[in-house]
Chains A and B, each alone.
Chain A
């Protein structure tokens, strides 16, 4: 119960930060509240937003997937190669999605069946998938995609400020959120993250669940690659570089515990918007991209440090209450410390 309250507080805190950023944005630039800026702001993080819910599941289950950015690149690369060699997108897109599933299967098998740590396995596939992307497309860039596809990439739904690609995010986040918080498999994800051994003895098929999660992660990363290709109207093998860091930052900023077992999709969705608005405000304020990268790194560390410190403070207070230490002790200390 108290843990639930703690999570609610984290999301409230995040919502307050988001509101503060929005206020800051309106004061920085009159452009901020325009619908055009809103759609730019969403578009700028759409691939990260699509990948974040699946990464949330992986981290809640106690693992990590560093390879997602390279799967984005592999997806772009293969899609571009197929299109350039005359394969229609209606066939090319399903093919790259299957590649995403297969890449995730490879990660999942090595981790869940091979018992290898996800950190190193996905560091290996981070290199492998990027290497395959480079082998497939080389240094070329493929463009001249059909207008309907690129319109999907940077157009907005008529009459709204929402880009078409936003639908992909809503569907992915919605489905994953419902499955995680309202269904039995979702509870299993939490259970595995809290204690894999106990879950196994309680009848959870831990290996199968984890393989499924990594396949999902590969699938949405490939999907993000398709979206990225549409948004830039170009496919390159180096697409998506550096995205893993930001996706992990979003997930941890959303209140997901890096050790597994805790986190919510609403929290992560809030974190997506927080990061999107932060990036947008910094850009409008003409803050350089370097500062943004420093800010993201700091955010990542702070989002882990704050809950840590809060937990330690809480347990210290609990201990103090339990031992009924008289409050006079602290007063004595401050008096003796004075000159």
Chain B
């Protein structure tokens, strides 16, 4: 995998950019290394870690977060942030469950409706940020509250339970293809598509350009507004997919679905090596970050540690990851200056 990445031609001209790219690659490798080490420790302490059912559960949850994290990574690479991801997922998950409960749609149509709804919500974020020039943090803090409020309004205190859903609707959560959970296959496909989008297309290069230097991007004739609008829309689309999968995974859905997920998604992106200053990082890294967080959460459960520790650990992981990034960037800058 690393040999494929190192030959990627001509996307990083300067020595500093090349050095940064190497660091970013090391981040993904080091994440894998930490996960393997963590996996060995957990397996020794709790052998059920490697059981088929446990691995399925961990990777299925990680897959859902990873899909949302891919969208968030696109947004963060452009130097923006989308805090409304959890509210988009919650609204989509509940809306899909609700139309299924009322039999207004068959399962495939309902899923398509959910993904479309996510796209629409992301489109609204994109209009507010790129069109109305509202800073992303304010815009998405606002839509976080609006989308969640809408969910509670639609739900009206009700929840949709497993028995309200069509028979077999939640089966895909357990299904596998060649031994790999279907959700993981979906996530891998999305990561692969997004990687191609970011590495091989003009749009991908524009996303990086807007994030690394908005002024320069503008001078080069890149329409930053269009790029930012598009990444927010894509983020909504992916949150929509993640919301649909969330509904399939949990079956029982209330208006509070996916509360707190934004933190996990942003943590996954930051841990995965996407620089919060924009302009660098990969969607694959963000997905790996999601897997890493799911591993930690699972390890806490298996080692009988309190779930109360999880929040604090997520917080620490975010702080450590961004501190490391800043440290590495500073070192690289100094090395560049010396040369």
Contact = CB atoms under 8 A, between A and B. Distances in A.
Given A245-B144, A293-B152, A114 B326 contact: yes
A119 B144 CA distance: 16
Contacts of B132: 301, 305, 308-309
A314 to B, nearest CB: 14
Interface string A271-310: 0000000000000000011111110111011001100110
Contact of A124 (B81, B135, B319): B319
Contact of A120 (B149, B270, B309): B270
B296 to A, nearest CB: 12
Given A131-B308, A300-B138, A120 B315 contact: no
Interface in A101-160: 110, 114-117, 119-121, 123-132, 134-135, 138
Given A124-B318, A135-B306, A288 B153 contact: yes
Contacts of B306: 135, 138
A128 B134 contact: no
Contact of A131 (B144, B270, B309): B309
Contacts of B152: 289-290, 293
Interface in B265-285: 266-267, 270, 276-277
A135 B182 CA distance: 36
A234 B81 CA distance: 35
Contacts of B323: 110, 114, 116
B275 to A, nearest CB: 10
Nearest to B307: A134
Contacts of B263: 123, 126-127
A37 to B, nearest CB: 24
A245 to B, nearest CB: 6
Contacts of A126: 263, 315
Contacts of A72: none
Contacts of A297: 141-146, 149
A248 B141 CA distance: 9
A304 B135 contact: yes
A270 to B, nearest CB: 19
B138 A304 contact: yes
A310 to B, nearest CB: 12
Interface in B127-162: 128, 132-135, 137-139, 141-146, 148-150, 152-153
Interface in A44-88: 64
B144 A120 contact: no
B208 to A, nearest CB: 18
A298 to B, nearest CB: 6
A192 B144 CA distance: 30
Interface string B147-186: 0111011000000000000000000000000000000000
Nearest to B133: A308
Given A128-B319, A134-B311, A301-B142, A116 B326 contact: yes
Contacts of A245: 141, 144-145
B319 A125 contact: yes
B322 interface: yes
B312 interface: yes
A258 interface: yes
A327 B75 CA distance: 42
B113 interface: no
10 closest A-B pairs by beta carbon, nearest first, are: A131-B312, A128-B315, A131-B311, A297-B145, A127-B315, A124-B318, A293-B149, A294-B149, A297-B146, A134-B308
Given A114-B323, A123-B266, A308-B134, 20 more contacts: A116-B276, A117-B322, A125-B315, A128-B311, A130-B312, A130-B315, A132-B312, A134-B312, A135-B308, A138-B306, A245-B145, A248-B138, A292-B149, A294-B150, A297-B141, A297-B146, A301-B132, A304-B134, A304-B139, A305-B134
28 contacts: A116-B276, A116-B322, A117-B277, A121-B319, A123-B318, A124-B315, A125-B319, A127-B267, A127-B312, A128-B319, A130-B312, A131-B313, A134-B312, A138-B306, A248-B138, A289-B152, A291-B149, A291-B153, A293-B148, A293-B149, A293-B152, A294-B153, A297-B145, A298-B146, A300-B145, A301-B138, A304-B134, A304-B138
Interface of B: 81, 128, 132-135, 137-139, 141-146, 148-150, 152-153, 263, 266-267, 270, 276-277, 306, 308-316, 318-319, 322-323, 326
